[in-house]
Amino acid sequence: MQYENRQPTDGINVTKTRPLVQFVQLGVAAAVLIVLLVVVLQVSGGWVAKRVPFSFELRVMQELDVDFGHNSEHPQMAAYLNELAQKVSLNMELPDTFEFTVHYNNQDVFNAFATIGGNLMFYKGLLEDMPNENTLAMVMAHEIAHVVHRDPVASLGGGVASTLALLALTGSTGSNMAGSVLSNAGTVTSMQFTRGMEQSADETAVAAMYNVYGHLNGAAQLFKLFSDARGPESQGSKLLEGFLSTHPLDENRVLAVQERAGLEGWSLEGELTALPEGFASWL
């Protein structure tokens, strides 16, 4: 008997494809789907979370007993910030259900943020650059507006919903998945508000500023301080940031304040209130 191996035609077991074309097609399709999914889940998760009563937020934060800042080491600063929050919030026509607690953090970070349970965090890095009470009140009113608009809880709800969906898609399961959701939820709650949320918080804050001081002097100064803190940037990186950043560009926020003032007939000039004596020593 004769045996032989005839070589089959080369490549019959491999489909002829163009991997780069396939990569671009599938990559674009996946990116579009994921973006759509995240947007839908962010919005719907946020919508559901906003229906949770504020009292529930307060209870959850009490149970968690999170250690936010260094209020006990800086009692004067903590007292002043909480008084200012009271003063600002009383001029914002809020329902009685809202409560705010301001926390001072002595880290050198140029930031302030609002998170669930009406907790506001102010960093030393931001406070030491405040030129007057009006500008500080603008930050305070902006963060209070986030809480009143329920932005932190909406962001948490949307963030958890989209993180869960993405993890399910990427194949993480069981304990891994739970761990990732929990670790991501922390970052999501503290910062990630959408640009729309920021604009809306600015609008509410500007109205509060007028109610407290009778003019808007000092409000726009805040955004100039943000610009200075960020340092000079090239036109290219500015364009990129305008696209990627969750906050509107500083120039646009200054313009928005001026436009609002023009529309409502609110003055941009007026006497500035100084920060209390000893403010620098409380830091």
Name the site residues for other proteins (rule: CB under 8 A).
Answer: 1, 3-5, 7, 10, 13-15, 17, 19-20, 22-23, 26-27, 29-30, 169, 240-241, 244-245
Helix (H, G, I), strand (E, B) or coil at 119: strand
Question: At a CB cut-off of 8 Å and minimum separation 6, what does 81 contact?
Answer: 102, 104, 122, 140
> Which of 150, 253 has the CB closer to other proteins?
253
Q: Residue length, the chain?
A: 283
How near is the Cβ of 159 to other proteins at its closest, in Å? 16
**What does each C-alpha distance from 218 to 85, 121, 152, 168, 259 come to in angstroms?**
17, 21, 26, 47, 15
In DSSP notation, 249-274 reads PHHHHHHHHHHHHHHHT--S--PPPP
> Which of 28, 178 has the CB closer to other proteins?
28
How near is the Cβ of 96 to other proteins at its closest, in Å? 40
Reported as half-sphere exposure (CB side, CA atoms, 13 A), residue 184 has a value of 19
**What does each C-alpha distance from 29 to 22, 46, 147 come to in angstroms?**
11, 25, 37
> Which of 7, 175 has the CB closer to other proteins?
7
Return the number of other C-beta atoms located less than 10 Å from residue 166's C-beta. Answer: 17
> Which of 30, 283 has the CB closer to other proteins?
30
> Which of 7, 234 has the CB closer to other proteins?
7
How near is the Cβ of 37 to other proteins at its closest, in Å? 12
d(CA 88, CA 204): 11
At residue 105, φ and ψ (nearest 5 deg) are -125, 125
Return the number of other C-beta atoms located less than 10 Å from residue 22's C-beta. Answer: 10
How near is the Cβ of 230 to other proteins at its closest, in Å? 11
How near is the Cβ of 5 to other proteins at its closest, in Å? 5
> Which of 19, 265 has the CB closer to other proteins?
19
Question: At a CB cut-off of 8 Å and minimum separation 6, what does 136 contact?
Answer: 84, 127, 130, 275
How near is the Cβ of 101 to other proteins at its closest, in Å? 30
Closest by CA to 205, choosing from 191, 189, 223, 192, is: 223
How near is the Cβ of 15 to other proteins at its closest, in Å? 5
How near is the Cβ of 25 to other proteins at its closest, in Å? 9
> Which of 48, 109 has the CB closer to other proteins?
109
> Which of 30, 182 has the CB closer to other proteins?
30
